[in-house]
Each structure stands twice: as structure tokens, then as C-alpha cells.
Amino acid sequence: MRVLHIWNPAGVASTLAKYQVRILGWSAWVITRRSADRFGLTTYGELLDCGSLRFLTLAVLRARRFDVIHVHMLDKLVPALKAIYPRKKVVLHYHGSDIRGRWCERRRFWKAADLILVSTPDLLEGAPADACVRYLPNPVDTDLFKPIPSLRRPGTALFITSSEAKHRASEKWAVRMAERLGLKLHIIDRDKEAIPHRRLPLVLNAYEYFIDHRWVPALSKTALEALACGLKVVRWDGKVIQGLPERHRPGAVVRALASLYEQLRGLG
């Protein structure tokens, strides 16, 4: 199987492609724009130095060599891909605010996809009954995110904020949670202190707890990475959890995705 991943939000495409190659023995690749990868999320794949129109043109041209075209977020590209390559399977993968509450608005784009994936269960709300929409858990690259006990500082907690509304709205809550648990809280603003993706495991491992945002009832990608590093995570409802769930381990995710791809191929 040859799979091209287009775009790489939160590094999900890099993780999927890397483990599709390692575990399934497939040919898989990722392309995204360098200007869109501020944190170095593309740990597997290719960064293209070009503008948006040039990138879309290159994506269409590259797609001709692959069996499955897996488009992340860029739903406007899907109708063109299906028009040019009607026999290829095009998968559209939504990751959050790109589709949350916008199913009707984005219909003219997603309706051309053979399969629609969403990264968190809450995104299924409002999903159309006349389309093939499936939840695929976010994978965590466990090569990169793993426990480093020697760095751990007991009694500490980390909250990562940014200019995004979901983070700003959760800051006061994070402070309350830390006080309730008797933890020394450190807040990092990623807009002011950009943390390279490969350095993030070292940052996470320095804390005992990670306090996630409470914007939606779903764990963030960073919270999942914190679990993989052995931290305790305070999730949206105040419950403290520990241990990365099996469904988010890369092997489980790529095998589940392989099954969905095979169902598409079976449909011709």
C-alpha cells in the first residue's frame, strides 16, 4: 500500500506514516509546508519551501504515485483530488476546530471524500448520516514520548497555554486544580516560549502532573503525550488519569486505520 499524507497538524500525519512503514511495511510519506511547522512537528516526512498555491499544486502532482491520499484538514483540496484521480481513495481527516460545529458549512468539501476521519469523539456530533465518518484515536509517537524518571519533580504541575481561546479560558481552572491538589504550577505560553517538538518530552518529564484544557470533553494531543511520558493528567472534568490508553498507541492506531483503508479498497 502506498499512502501520501498531505499536511501534518499536531504531528499526527508524521506518526501515522512512520508506523505505517515500520509496522505494516507500507510506503508512506508526508508533505507539508515549512512555514506551517513552527514547532518542528514533522519528524517524518518532507517540509516544502513554497507558498500555499504552489503547495497545493505539488500535492496534486505527488498524489499520482500513491494508492491512498490522506488529506489532513485541507478539505478544499479533496474535490480537486477526486476530480483528477477518480479511482484513487481520498481520505479526509479532521482534527478539531476545522470541523467542530461546521459540518453543514464544510459539506461541499467533505462530500467528495471516500472516508472522513475525526481525531476526537466529540467531533462526531453533527456528523452527517449520509457520509462514512469514523473516529480514529490520535496516535502518540512512543519512540519520542516516554518516561524519564530522573527528570521528574514531585509535587509539580504543568499547564501549557497560548493565544487560543480554549487555553485562555482554562487558565484560571488550571490554577484552581493545582491548588486543590497541592501542586506547584508552572504555566508555559507557547506563543512566547516556542517548545520544539523533539524537546517537548524533556519538558513534560520534568513534572508530576499535566493539567489539560477543559474546552471540550476530549484529551488534547499534548495530554496524551504527557500520559506516554508517565505523568498524571488532570482532564476536562477534574478527574486524574494515568497511563496512555492502548487505543492511542501507534501500533493500535495504524492497524485500525489499515482496516478502514482495506474496507475502502474492497468497495472498488
* Structure confidence by residue, pLDDT tens digits, 20-79: 999 999 999 999 999 999 999 999 999 999 999 999 999 999 999 999 999 999 999 999
Average pLDDT on 237-248 reads 98
Percent of all residues in the chain with a pLDDT value above 70, rounded to a whole number: 99
Whole-number Å distance between alpha carbons of 120 and 215:
13
What global pTM score does this model have? Answer: 0.96
Helix (H) or strand (E) run with residue 34 in it: none
∠ CA 75-81-87, nearest 5°, is: 130
> 198-229 burial, b for 16+ CB within 10 Å, e for fewer?
eebbebbbbbbbbbbbbbbebbbbbbbbbbbb
For 2-138+249-266, CATH number?
3.40.50.2000
User: What mean pLDDT is reported for the chain?
Assistant: 96
Is 136 in contact with 248 (CB distance < 8 Å)?
no
Q: Report residue 96 CA to chain centroid gap.
A: 9
Which of the four pLDDT bands, split at 50, 70 and 90, describes residue 268? very low
Average pLDDT on 122-148 reads 96
Report helix, strand and coil shares of the chain as percent, to nearest 5.
35, 20, 40
Q: Is the pLDDT at 130 greater than 90, yes or no?
A: no
